[in-house]
């Protein structure tokens, strides 16, 4: 019980530090950002608010300027159940990728970040705003 309280407290502290030290997001033209947002329709991130690996993944989302749907698998029983039933285990972060070929569940923060950077990270100079 005490360990859980300490872990939660540390996680919330890390989440607070994350909030005040977030990286600058990628800037895209409005058209390019709209295309990115449409491409996000089949993606959702199952996460816990204070999990360090989830915080790391959310930082990458912010840096990549990806307004991805976040699903709280810690406090929302429906999301937790879906993650366990369809994904196979309760482990976060987990990126759900729905496509015409089916649904893929990606569990490791580094794999998730690498996937998102590969798919959404490249910004051509002509697309950069400012």
Q: Domain locations in the chain?
A: 2-22+33-121
Percent of the chain with pLDDT over 70: 92
d(C-alpha 80, C-alpha 57), whole Å: 18
Superfamily of domain 2-22+33-121: Glutaredoxin (3.40.30.10)
Q: Please, what is the angle between helix 52-63 and helix 109-120, to 10°?
A: 10
pLDDT tens figures, 62-103: 999 999 999 999 999 999 999 999 999 999 999 999 999 999
C-alpha to C-alpha distance for 38 and 32, rounded to whole angstroms: 10
pTM, 2 dp: 0.81
């Amino acid at each position: 019980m005490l360990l859980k309280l300490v872990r939660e407290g540390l996680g919330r502290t890390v989440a607070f530090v994350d909030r005040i030290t977030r990286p600058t997001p990628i800037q895209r033209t409005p058209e390019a950002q709209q295309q990115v947002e449409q491409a996000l329709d089949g993606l959702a991130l199952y996460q816990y608010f204070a999990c360090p690996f989830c915080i790391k993944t959310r930082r990458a989302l912010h840096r990549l300027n990806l307004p991805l749907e976040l699903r709280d698998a810690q406090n929302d029983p429906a999301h937790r159940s879906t993650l366990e039933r369809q994904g196979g285990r309760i482990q976060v972060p987990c990126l759900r990728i729905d496509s015409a070929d089916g649904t893929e569940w990606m569990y490791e923060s580094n794999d998730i970040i690498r996937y998102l950077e590969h798919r959404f990270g490249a910004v051509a100079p002509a697309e950069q705003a400012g």
